[in-house]
Amino acid sequence: MSANFADLLNTDVTSVQRVTQPIGTYTAQMKSFKEVTSSKKKTKGIEVVFGIVSAGTDVDAEALREFAKVKEIKGLKLTHSFWVKDQDALNYVKDFLAACGISLEGRTFKQALSEAVGSMVNVYVGHEPAQRDPSVNLARIQGFSKVA
């Protein structure tokens, strides 16, 4: 649920703090995917949307509590883009689909991605500096693994 815009504008400026999702492994559900094109290089790719289900034991508990004061972790949406420049780049998509537990034999990537919607997968979230302001860390999915 989004906040009322007028209420947001009436917030004390000094009370607003930037909190980045803590580094670590999260169990997530694949919600959807779509074909995308990068704005800069016009590279084609696949954008996958995930909903966080739970945080793993490697996520710092104190950092998670601080983050939860700003955003609820369960249901938090994360996106990851696979930039498909050539067939070699499809190996990353293939590895992701295997982590989702999808049978890959005899399927196209589009078929396998459609089947993966709803599947559970572990996502590893790391931090990367923002391009516009390197002093700001952004949470980014940096890897996938099967849910045990």
39-78 pLDDT, tens digit per residue, is: 999 999 999 999 999 999 999 999 999 898 888 888 899 9
Instruction: Supply the pLDDT for residue 126.
Output: 96
Q: Concatenated DSSP letters for 19-38? A: -PPPSEEEEEEEEEEEEEE-
100 or 130, which is more confident? 100
Confidence of residue 2 (pLDDT cuts 50, 70, 90): low
Q: What count of other Cβ atoms lies within 10 Å of the Cβ of residue 7?
A: 8
Residue with tokens 């793993």: 56
Percentage of the chain surpassing pLDDT 90?
70
Over residues 24-29, mean pLDDT: 97
**Alpha-carbon span 45 to 36, nearest angstrom:** 5
CA distance 46 to 114: 12
Q: Tokens for 57? A: 């034991």
User: What are the chain's domains?
Assistant: 17-145 (2.40.50)
> How many other CB atoms are there within 10 angstroms of residue 30's CB atom?
23
Confidence class of residue 143 from pLDDT cuts 50, 70 and 90? very high
The phi and psi torsions of 108 (rounded to 5 degrees) equal -85, 165
Q: What is the pLDDT of residues 103-134, one digit of tens each?
A: 999 999 999 999 999 999 999 999 999 888 99
